[in-house]
Amino acid sequence: MKTQTPRAHHTTRPPDLRAPGSLAAGLLAAALCLLVTATPFSRAADPKTTRTATPVAPSTASKIQQSAPAITKQPANVTVTIGKSATFSVTASGAPAPSYQWQSATRNGNIWTDETDSPYGIAGSRTAQLKVPPAELNQSGMRYRCVVTNTAGSVTSNEATLTVASPPAASIGMPGSSQGTKANTGSDAILVATTSGNPTPSCQWQVSTNNGSTYGNVPNTSPYSGGNTPKLVISSVPFSFDGYKYRCAVTNNAGSAYSNIITLTVIPPANSITRHPASITVAGGKSATFTVAVNGVTNPAYQWQRKPATSSTWTNLANTTGISAATPMNTIRGATTNQLVIDNVVPLSTTDNQYRCVIKGAGGITLESNAATLTITAPPPIITKLELNPKPGTIKLNDNVTITIEAASPTTPITSYQWQTPTPSGWVNVTDSSTIKGAKTAKLEIPKISAPGNYRCLVTNSAGTTTSDHVSVSYSITSSSGSSGGSTTAAATTGKMTSTFTHTAPNTPLWSQNGWTSMTALPAGAKITSIKNTGKTAIILSRLTGGATKSGFTTLAVGASTNNFSGLAGSIQWFCDGPYGTNPPEGAPSIEVTWTK
């Protein structure tokens, strides 16, 4: 029997991964390649082919840098007036960008409450800027802060305060006085201001010493104290403060205002001078007045005195007519009354003069006022003499006529003279000619006068110009009557005429409320010398003729005369001004016109 050789058992062997070209070898190579690419470290291989892999940075998306919030600008206090909105702001940094939450607390509260937006209220409660709606006064003192937060932390800002301001007001009085706004001389006067407004306003007292024309701040010097507080004290108030006016100026963030005004009345002590004469400055030629007043003096007797400023000797004054009868300057009136008047003042020396009053009363009372200084500035010339030669009424045809003027100018020299004569359009300067000489001197000469005229002179110095009164020059004519050697006077060259009229209905000229108008015609060739009001009511004359205008009128009192129309010819328009319906009760108006030709 044949023995059967057993079949060998097939056993699977693992693949040889190193076998070139095998599938396993390819997969292995790919895996190794991926491993080398993803590993930051180099691996040893064939020393001839080994390369180092480049490191790869981590992704920034997975590594975010965070920082806690920080406040770079704190919210500030805010002040608004009633009805205005307020805005609080904060500036912060942080990563990621922080969120905001505003909170509020009352003036003195410790509980902070998150703010929320509302249609008519708070806005921006979760932003960097919070807007508070129109504020009311009861919101003043509210505090606000902001909590700034991100994922890295949280920070709270400083608190800021809202102030709601209201305009200031003040009322002043003297609540501690039993005499209202009066105070006795030498006592303390206390003025108190009651103020309102938010914030509490500051106070500044002010005083007027010129009856309210101007005010100045009260100084914190004696006798004042508390000039910038609600309480002003005037210690030992002097009588000279009588009539001073006081007010308080108050100020805060919402504005400023003045209080009411108090006039302080200071009650004088008995037997005292309540008003001293004040120093004055007047132009030469004007009047100076000094006044004194006393209180409680029985049967006071006054005596004014004068002395040079550099002297210590006082001299009693008496009423005078001036330096001399021919020079009526420094005329004194009231030398023994409480009011001294010096008319037409001119300097008496190179120094200013001082004046005072001595008052004596019953019981041996003697009081002396303070001294007052009279300062006299340079005056325009003062006319002291205006003379026609020959005398009026004695001049004949062909006489040599002169008009001489004298003027006082004690502090500055006279610089010029200028004679003038009237024309229908006004006064014009005279110039030298064959019929007139000295037009620019103190003496006007009219050689061999052959025509009447009117003249006045302008006298000038550095202080101004003075116009003299005018002088009317007329003459009469004489002629021989044959060989008898006698003389006769020719037909009169001067004359007078009277004009009177009645009126039964009111007439209203354009430039007079009521009155009567009359045209008075002169004889042919006649020129006016003067006009006199011979009626019993005042009249107004117009220097223009036909349609007179307001710019050319002169008012003439009853019995008065005027030379303002001298040299004019033609007609005069005049009227009586007054509330009369017919003739005035005094009688019909009338004028007397003196003329020459």
In a domain, 331, yes or no: yes
Query: How large is the greatest C-alpha to C-alpha distance in the chain, in angstroms?
Result: 238
Examine the domain organization and report whether 399 and 422 are in the same domain.
yes
Examine the domain organization and report whether 329 and 391 are in the same domain.
no
In a domain, 19, yes or no: no
Examine the domain organization and report whether 334 and 406 are in the same domain.
no
Residues 6+ apart with CB under 8 A from 234: 183, 188, 189, 190, 191, 223, 224, 241, 264
What is the pLDDT at residue 349?
55
Examine the domain organization and report whether 394 and 369 are in the same domain.
no
Residues 6+ apart with CB under 8 A from 168: 195, 196, 197, 201, 250, 251, 252, 254, 255, 256, 257
How many helices and strands, by DSSP H and E, does the chain display?
Answer: 1, 49
Evaluate the omega torsion of the peptide bond into residue 380 and state whether it is cis, within 30 degrees of 0: no
Examine the domain organization and report whether 194 and 234 are in the same domain.
yes
In this structure, what CATH number is given to the domain that contains residue 446?
2.60.40.10
Residues 6+ apart with CB under 8 A from 433: none
DSSP state of 564: T
Determine contact, residues 47/118, Cβ cutoff 8 Å: no
Q: What is the mean pLDDT of each run of 10 residues along the chain (597 residues)?
A: 42 47 48 44 44 49 78 95 92 96 90 91 94 87 96 96 92 85 92 93 96 95 95 93 95 93 92 92 86 93 92 90 56 94 74 88 93 86 89 87 88 90 90 94 92 91 88 68 32 57 39 42 72 76 45 68 73 56 55 77
In angstroms, rounded to a whole number, what is the distance separating the alpha carbons of residues 167 and 81?
Answer: 8
Q: Of the candidates 158, 177, 208, which is a domain's last residue?
A: 158
Examine the domain organization and report whether 363 and 304 are in the same domain.
yes
CB atoms within 10 A of CB 122: 16
Q: What is the 3-state secondary structure (H, E, C) of 426-489?
A: EEEECCCECCEECCCCCEEEECCCCCCEEEEEEEEECCEEEECCCEEECCECEEECHHHCCEEE
Instruction: State the DSSP H helix or E strand holding residue 361, giving kind and residue range, or none if neither.
Output: strand 353-361
| pTM of this structure | 0.44
Evaluate the omega torsion of the peptide bond into residue 390 and state whether it is cis, within 30 degrees of 0: yes
In this structure, what CATH number is given to the domain that contains residue 556?
2.60.120
Instruction: State the DSSP H helix or E strand holding residue 23, giving kind and residue range, or none if neither.
Output: helix 23-38
SS3 of residue 36 by DSSP: helix
Q: Which of 576, 571, 572, 570 is nearest to 556 (CA)?
A: 576
In a domain, 41, yes or no: no
Examine the domain organization and report whether 235 and 284 are in the same domain.
no
Record the tokens describing residue 335, joined without a space.
């030398």
Residues 6+ apart with CB under 8 A from 447: 400, 435, 436, 437
Report the C-alpha dihedral over residues 575, 579, 583, 589, rounded to 10 degrees.
Answer: -30
Residues 317, 337, 273, 213, CA torsion sign: negative
- Position of tokens 């005072």? 356
In a domain, 338, yes or no: yes
Q: Which of 377, 302, 365, 294 is nearest to 333 (CA)?
A: 302
In angstroms, rounded to a whole number, what is the distance separating the alpha carbons of residues 210 and 216?
Answer: 11
The secondary structure of 115-172 as a DSSP string is ----TTS-B-TTSSEEEE-S--GGGTT-EEEEEEEETTEEEEPPPEEEEEEEEEEEEE
Residues 6+ apart with CB under 8 A from 112: 103, 104, 105, 145
In a domain, 21, yes or no: no
In a domain, 336, yes or no: yes
Residue type, 360: K
Instruction: State the DSSP H helix or E strand holding residue 72, giving kind and residue range, or none if neither.
Output: strand 67-73
User: Where in the sequence is the domain holding 412, given as residue range(s)?
Assistant: 382-473
Residues 6+ apart with CB under 8 A from 118: none
Number of domains in the chain: 5
Q: Of the candidates 224, 243, 267, which is a domain's last residue?
A: 267
What is the pLDDT at residue 575?
63
Examine the domain organization and report whether 263 and 304 are in the same domain.
no
Examine the domain organization and report whether 258 and 287 are in the same domain.
no
Residue type, 35: L
Determine contact, residues 164/135, Cβ cutoff 8 Å: yes
In angstroms, rounded to a whole number, what is the distance separating the alpha carbons of residues 537 and 514?
Answer: 14
Q: Of the candidates 352, 377, 402, which is a domain's last residue?
A: 377
Q: Which residues pair with 366 in a beta bridge?
A: 360
Buried b (16+ CB within 10 A) or exposed e, 67-100: ebbebeeebeebbbbbeeebebbbebebeeebeb
In angstroms, rounded to a whole number, what is the distance separating the alpha carbons of residues 237 and 223?
Answer: 7
Examine the domain organization and report whether 258 and 190 are in the same domain.
yes
Residues 581, 583, 587, 588, CA torsion sign: positive
Examine the domain organization and report whether 142 and 212 are in the same domain.
no
In a domain, 26, yes or no: no
In angstroms, rounded to a whole number, what is the distance separating the alpha carbons of residues 107 and 507?
Answer: 81
Examine the domain organization and report whether 187 and 258 are in the same domain.
yes
In a domain, 173, yes or no: yes
